[in-house]
């Protein structure tokens, strides 16, 4: 090969290596819609066919080759059934394990918020304020405004860690400004002014 062709090939290889990834070119990955089995499981829950729902949610939850948001969503739905005692005995330990996995590995904000509340209240065992605070913070980082309000409330009151009133106030007011009514109620309960709009 001539030096000119080699230089051209080297330039093409460099251009390919430096090209942005598909997600950078086309934006964030879209979360897959529920497939037929998940839709069936959702209908089964409404009809009280909990064994079918548990089987289908379990299969999807355990399939980590699927898109993360999809398996995490199915893990959360399965955890909801265990927490409520639908289709099996009420099992807060199994629910906690599933919520934690869906939250911390699956980045499912709703799972974070749900387990944070259960840990805060001590449902199914002793209160675990540090864990609740960690999960509310994670829910907030994932964009859940009620999670932000929960995290702010715990910071403001010094629950599950050091008291950080200014930081807690900011989280509560920002969540309230984002139209989270629970956060607005907490802010009012603490005598904090509500902020309107971000």
Contacts of 36 (CB under 8 A, 6+ apart): none
Percent of the chain with pLDDT over 70: 83
- pLDDT tens sequence across 165-176: 999 999 999 999
Burial class from Cβ neighbours inside 10 Å (0-12, 13-18, 19+) for residue 91 reads middle
> What global pTM score does this model have?
0.81
CATH architecture for residues 122-198: Alpha Horseshoe (1.25)
Ranges of each domain in the chain: 35-107, 122-198
CATH architecture for residues 35-107: Alpha Horseshoe (1.25)
Residue 114 tokens read as 């749900």
Residue 194 tokens read as 């509500």
- pLDDT tens sequence across 10-68: 555 555 544 444 444 555 557 789 999 999 999 999 999 999 999 999 999 999 999 99
What's the average model confidence in pLDDT over 96-116? 97
pLDDT score, position 95: 96
Say if residue 1's pLDDT is above 90. no
Burial class from Cβ neighbours inside 10 Å (0-12, 13-18, 19+) for residue 30 reads exposed
Give CA–CA dist 132/113, Å, rounded.
8
| N-terminal to C-terminal alpha carbon distance within the chain | 61
pLDDT score, position 180: 95
Confidence of residue 124 (pLDDT cuts 50, 70, 90): confident
């Amino acid at each position: 090969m001539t030096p000119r062709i080699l230089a051209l090939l080297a330039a093409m290889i460099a251009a390919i290596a430096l090209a942005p990834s598909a997600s950078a070119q086309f934006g964030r990955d879209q979360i897959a819609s529920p497939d037929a089995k998940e839709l069936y499981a959702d209908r089964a829950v409404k009809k009280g066919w909990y064994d079918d729902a548990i089987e289908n949610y379990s299969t999807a939850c355990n399939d980590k080759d699927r898109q993360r948001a999809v398996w995490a969503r199915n893990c959360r739905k399965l955890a909801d059934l265990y927490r409520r005692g639908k289709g099996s005995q009420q099992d807060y330990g199994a629910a906690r394990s599933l919520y934690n996995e869906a939250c911390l590995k699956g980045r499912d904000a709703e799972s974070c918020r749900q387990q944070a509340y259960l840990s805060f209240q001590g449902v199914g065992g002793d209160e675990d304020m540090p864990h609740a605070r960690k999960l509310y913070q994670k829910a907030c980082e994932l964009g859940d405004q009620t999670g932000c309000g929960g995290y702010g409330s715990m910071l403001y009151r010094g629950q599950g860690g050091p008291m950080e009133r200014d930081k807690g106030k900011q989280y509560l007011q920002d969540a309230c400004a984002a139209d989270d009514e629970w956060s607005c109620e907490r802010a009012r309960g603490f005598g904090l002014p509500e902020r309107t709009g971000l």
